[in-house]
Amino acid sequence: MPLLRGDDPAAVAAAAQRLADGGLVAFATETVYGLGARADDDAAVAAIFAAKGRPADHPLIVHVAAPAQAAAFATAFATTFAADLPAAARRLAEAFWPGPVTVIVPRAAGIGAAAAGGQPTIGLRCPSHPVAQALLREAAARGVPGVAAPSANRFGRVSPTTAAHVALEFGPDLWVLDGGACPVGIESAIVDCSRGAPVLLRPGVLTRARLEAALGEPLRAADDQAPRAPGTLASHYAPRAQVRLWAAADRVGAPGLAPERTGLAGARGVAVYSRRPVPECPGLAWRRMPDDPAAVARELFAVLRQFDDADVAEIWIEQPPDEPAWEGVRDRLRRAATA
């Protein structure tokens, strides 16, 4: 029974027990599907790294269930994974949890070392998806204080936003708690709150302005002293096809979308994802990019996977506007194009 219905309480309970027993379970969150193991069991966490082919020093995010009030998170975290929950982390939790923001805080000694990639800090998030919520509550009732869960895909590849994507990555033996298509579609924003002034390490759908309003202070830029964090490598979120970005100001067809260019890709062809239509030509598939950044975030990874399924050689993507609401999408596209 690897594929489980997330709206079935018996299936959720079985998945929670599997986590409690040290097994792996993939599950829906509002951002992307996660590949989970109990975060207080370093051997269970090691199975995540092995399944993904992920370097053991590349940290994971620990997902926790939400108490009735956001303030209770501080108490819960102070007695489990976080040695101390800084004021900035508390403000973000109170404003956005459950939701798509991860805070990096000092890690309590003796717990979560593998999930933290050996660092003295750890990333914490409370997801809002009802399936994730149900699973985390059931797991907590079985003594699981938190679930380490990176995206449920091979390391560096396109993140999964449906249960079918997860099954394609890992096959039928992995337990997957199906919660439908993820409504956000890209990973959470990550804010480092471990070194005084908060630092944005990875943008998400929550804009800088909203994060800074909750913090009451500006976000600093990442520097060489920042802790390692998920999804911050130069190359990430990459399909098999080569991703190429082109500016909206460029003339359509130059330099990469001319018919003669599609011929260079051979029989496999070229795919285009853009807000503007492109001229029809042999070997070229076009999909319109929505004008709304939230809609693009929601479908982006699914579109990249669909183009990969069509076995195109190249995916040309029109760069989104240089506006704050598009920052998370721009970040994912830049990293995908670096591969």
- pLDDT tens for the chain, 339 residues long, are 589 999 999 999 999 999 999 999 999 999 999 999 999 999 999 999 999 999 989 999 999 996 433 333 334 555 677 766 788 998 999 899 999 999 999 888 888 899 999 999 999 999 999 999 999 999 999 999 899 999 999 998 999 999 999 999 998 899 999 999 999 999 999 999 998 899 999 999 999 999 999 999 999 988 877 888 887 777 778 899 999 998 866 654 434 555 445 444 445 689 999 998 888 888 888 999 999 999 999 999 999 999 999 999 999 999 999 999 999 999 999 999 987
pLDDT computed for residue 45 by the predictor: 97
So what's the pLDDT on residue 307?
94
Q: How far apart are CA 122 and CA 33, in angstroms?
A: 20
Amino acid at 154: R
Rounded Cα gap, residues 200 and 179, in angstroms: 29
pLDDT the model gives residue 292: 97
Query: Which residues, including other chains, have CB under 8 Å from residue 131's CB and lie 6 or more apart?
Result: 6, 7, 12, 27, 28, 29, 177, 178, 179
Structure confidence at residue 86 (pLDDT): 87
164: tokens are 């079918």
pLDDT (0 to 100) of residue 273? 95
**Phi, psi dihedral angles at 151 (to 5 degrees):** -65, 145
Q: Which pLDDT score is estimated for 249?
A: 64
Q: Are 227 and 61 in contact (CB under 8 A)?
A: no
Which pLDDT does position 78 carry in this prediction?
58
Q: Is the pTM of this model over 0.85?
A: yes
Cα–Cα distance measured from residue 125 to residue 306, given in angstroms and rounded to the nearest whole number: 29
Domains of the chain are: 3-215 (3.90.870.10), 242-338 (3.40.50)
pLDDT in tens, 99-123: 999 999 988 888 889 999 999 999 9
